[in-house]
Amino acid sequence: MANHSQLGFQDASSPIMEELVEFHDHALMVALAICSLVLYLLTLMLTEKLSSSTVNAQEVELVWTILPAIVLIMLALPSLQILYMMDEIHEPDLTLKAIGHQWYWSYEYTDFKDLMFDSYMIPTADLPLGHYRLLEVDHRVIVPMESPVRVIVTADDVLHSWAVPSLGVKTDAIPGRLNQTSFVATRPGVFYGQCSEICGANHSFMPIVVESAPLAYFESWSTLISS
């Protein structure tokens, strides 16, 4: 989860998030190189170390046309690759349906007959010692570690958005429409998210908590909840 004064991303806990962090660093380095070049040329011009009375230079025009095209290709190719990976859902081991309400989430494990529950934020007054304020819920989403999980997202009333930054997922919840995303949690842990679409007065109070656990724990938990 995010920490105080944190400048970077949360620790990546899925392959998609790892790719997003790498792309961010790649794009940042490209932007830094461009800014450095522009600053260097401005310095030369201001100090009169670089001046020219040329009004027509085809070579220069060719360079400033080709170089931006190359830079855009360098940014577009990895971006399109990540977009393709995010949209690809191949034989998930588990399907989870997340339904947004004002102002809580409800979940249905569609591979199980009676595994469904509502997830409300725990009020600050009822929060156990050591838990996170405005982020803890009464019922967490439990998923098996290292298993592909498909999430079908919709809403019951207004627009919501199901987002968990550590897993690299953010999908709009739209009434009357089913959107889907997927993730693979690569390590055990508890991952926090929040509704990322302004949905009313208590928009800030409908957090998302996903817990990744070994398969044996998930099986025992699902049996207990279903019964």
Q: Does residue 1 surpass a pLDDT of 80? A: no
Strand-by-strand arrangement of the 116-119 sheet: 116-119, 104-109, 94-101, 149-155, 179-183
pTM: predicted TM-score of the whole model, two decimal places = 0.83
Measured CA to CA, the distance from residue 90 to residue 23 in angstroms comes to 23
CATH classification (class only), 94-226: mainly beta
Q: Does the N-terminal peptide bond of residue 105 adopt cis geometry, omega within 30 degrees of 0? A: no
Q: Does residue 83 surpass a pLDDT of 70? A: yes
At 189-207, the pLDDT tens digits run 999 999 999 999 999 999 9
At 148-170, the pLDDT tens digits run 999 999 999 999 999 999 999 99
How far CA 154 is from CA of 160, 177, 205, in Å, comes to 8, 6, 18
Cβ proximity of 95 and 150 under 8 Å: yes
Q: Measuring CA to CA, which residue among 226, 214, 143 is closest to residue 182?
A: 143
Which has more confidence, 88 or 30? 30
Q: Does residue 51 surpass a pLDDT of 90? A: no
Longest C-alpha distance within the chain, in Å? Answer: 84
